[in-house]
């Protein structure tokens, strides 16, 4: 269960230099290279949790700018604390609902999108809230560069099956689909594990992954 209510977390987020202020988000589309101060590619993770995955990537790839999006303040607080211990110039955070993602990045401004162990929203009536749904794929289509890709990992097989079924009606194609990532040596080369991936794979849950494009 994610922590959602730590007293003072919203105040810490508002004052953090690592977080893009919420009242400036509507001005961000088309300006991310200015925000970072360079023309490096932009990769984003939607629903980044405590930020370990993205922090690791940013440290390994200083030539890429990373933006982590997280809805819950108390979870984002953990990522901020990690940055305070190990500051990286190519990593920024946003506290926001993913439904507004196409209002924060401009058309074709993002090179890659990561979705990791997203909330499955198991009830059918909530299908459009799932991050790999066709509704969200339409939003990603706006902000992703023409040659850009989206990577999705989960141990939740029903959610992954749903995600794969959404591709064709949404106009996307799969470059890679695996139902057991950790058994694929080629795909595991350079794989950065999230906290959930480490936890679930350690108890024998197969990790599913796809890489998709339009």
The residues that are catalytic are: 119
Rounded CA separation 122/48 (Å):
20
Is the distance from CB of 19 to CB of 92 less than 8 angstroms?
Answer: yes
69 in Cβ contact with 98 (< 8 Å)? yes
* Angle between helical axes of 134-143 and 157-170 (0-180°, round to 10): 60
Burial of 66 (C-beta count, 10 Å sphere; 0-12/13-18/19+): buried
| DSSP single-letter state for residue 106 | -
């Amino acid at each position: 269960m994610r922590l959602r209510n730590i007293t003072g977390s919203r105040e810490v987020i508002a004052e953090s230099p690592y977080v893009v202020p919420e009242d400036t988000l509507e001005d961000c589309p088309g300006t991310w290279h200015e925000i970072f101060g360079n023309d490096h590619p932009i990769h984003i993770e939607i629903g980044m949790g405590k930020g370990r995955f993205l922090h690791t990537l940013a440290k390994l790839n200083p030539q890429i700018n990373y933006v982590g999006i997280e809805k819950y303040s108390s979870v984002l607080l953990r990522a901020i604390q990690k940055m305070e211990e190990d500051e990286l110039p190519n990593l920024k955070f946003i506290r926001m609902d993913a439904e507004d993602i196409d209002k924060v990045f401009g058309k074709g401004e993002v090179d890659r999108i990561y979705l990791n162990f997203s909330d499955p929203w198991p009830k059918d009536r909530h299908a459009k809230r799932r991050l790999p749904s066709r509704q969200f794929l339409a939003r990603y289509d706006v902000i992703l560069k023409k040659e850009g890709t989206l990577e999705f990992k989960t141990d939740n097989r029903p959610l992954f099956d749903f995600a794969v079924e959404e591709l064709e009606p949404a106009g996307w194609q799969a470059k890679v689909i695996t139902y057991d990532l950790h058994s694929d040596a080629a795909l595991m080369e350079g794989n950065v594990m999230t906290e959930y991936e480490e936890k679930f794979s350690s108890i024998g849950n197969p990790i599913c992954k796809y890489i998709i494009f339009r």
